[in-house]
Structure 1
Amino acid sequence: MIAATHYLNFPGNTEEAMNFYKSVFGGEFIAFHRFKDSPGFEKMPKHEQNMIMHASLPLGKGLLMATDTLDSMEQTLTPGNNYHIVVHTESEEETNTLFKGLSAGGKIEMPLNKTFWGAYFGMCRDKFGIQWMLSYDINHPTIDHVKS
């Protein structure tokens, strides 16, 4: 495993929140993407297209990442479900093993799959209700900013 990071969900104010964290912690965003930058965005409601799909801010040796929740995807934000623990892995095999273990007795929210952004990625909620994202960066498997 390379590192674990924090992934926050916001009800439409990710841009404001991440700019606030940037002002507190410093640094520069290494990713800041809107839903309109993704394939199929034209099928989304207009008011959601400019919302934040993914933002990443270096935080020490890890990352603080965030996204906006979408009503059109029936995502409801309540206290306790507004974060994920992201595990950055070193191989697809490790990703498969950890995902299988974490999702046992829980719920797979997004099956492991190769994504358009170059990761082997999946999301699950374990049997204790903790939300996990597992990600193996296919193009850059040992990115320096996420090494522990």
Structure 2
Amino acid sequence: MATLNTYLNFNGNTEEVFNFYKSVFGGEFAALMRFKDTPGCEGMTKEDQEGIMHVALPIGPTSILMGTDIPSNMVQVKPGNNMSISIGAENEAEADKLFNGLAEGGQIIMPLQKMFWNAYYGQLTDKFGIQWMVNYDYNQK
């Protein structure tokens, strides 16, 4: 069965936000990556390269709060587009089924594809305006 987590988007202050959440919930970051440390970001501004590409803060035994900074050349976030539901699929077939089902009547933002972080990943907005991220992590076996 797939897992669900909340993914938050910010306009450059993700690090501040997640340090605050860490002070409230406790624990340590399971992941923290900056854009400058990922492939394909060489053309970004220096400020955007310092931004958070991905951060994950475990909340309890089964939930993870995740987030990212939106680069300045993309549509900036506001209430309504500042969060997504992230689905962790158990395999590629489940990822395909969930992604295609949710995409029916909606808009695909990024088709499912193999990504540099060793995952099968895609993004979409469903026909009701809800943003979804579908991810199968190849390292889970």
TM-score of the superposed pair, with normalisation by structure 1? 0.92
Q: CA deviation at 1:2?
A: 3.5
Q: CA deviation at 1:80?
A: 1.0
For 1:124, the equivalent position in structure 2 comes to 124
Find the aligned partners of 1:37 and 1:71 in 2 and give their Cα distance.
Answer: 17
Find the aligned partners of 2:97 and 2:75 in 1 and give their Cα distance.
Answer: 27
Q: Which runs of 4+ in 1 moved over 6 A?
A: none
Q: CA deviation at 1:78?
A: 1.6
Find the aligned partners of 1:75 and 1:63 in 2 and give their Cα distance.
Answer: 25
Are 2:53 and 1:71 equivalent residues in the alignment? no
Unaligned residue ranges in structure 2 (runs of 5+)? none
For 1:95, the equivalent position in structure 2 comes to 95
Unaligned residue ranges in structure 1 (runs of 5+)? 142-148
For 1:30, the equivalent position in structure 2 comes to 30
For 1:144, the equivalent position in structure 2 comes to none
Find the aligned partners of 2:80 and 2:54 in 1 and give their Cα distance.
Answer: 20
Q: 1:1-148 counterparts in 2 under 5 A?
A: 1-60=1-60, 61-72=62-73, 74-141=74-141
SS of the counterpart of 1:43?
coil
SS of the counterpart of 2:84?
strand
Partner AA of 2:63 in structure 1: G
Partner AA of 2:91 in structure 1: S
TM-score of the superposed pair, with normalisation by structure 2? 0.96
Give aligned-pair identity as a percent: 55
Q: CA deviation at 1:33?
A: 0.5
Q: CA deviation at 1:47?
A: 1.4
- The superposition leaves residues 70-126 of structure 1 with CA deviations (integer Å, 9 ceiling, x where unpaired) of 122x22212111000001010100100110010111100111001000110100000
- The superposition leaves residues 15-67 of structure 1 with CA deviations (integer Å, 9 ceiling, x where unpaired) of 00000000000000010000001002211111100000000000111100000
Partner AA of 2:104 in structure 1: A
Alignment coverage as a number of residue pairs:
140
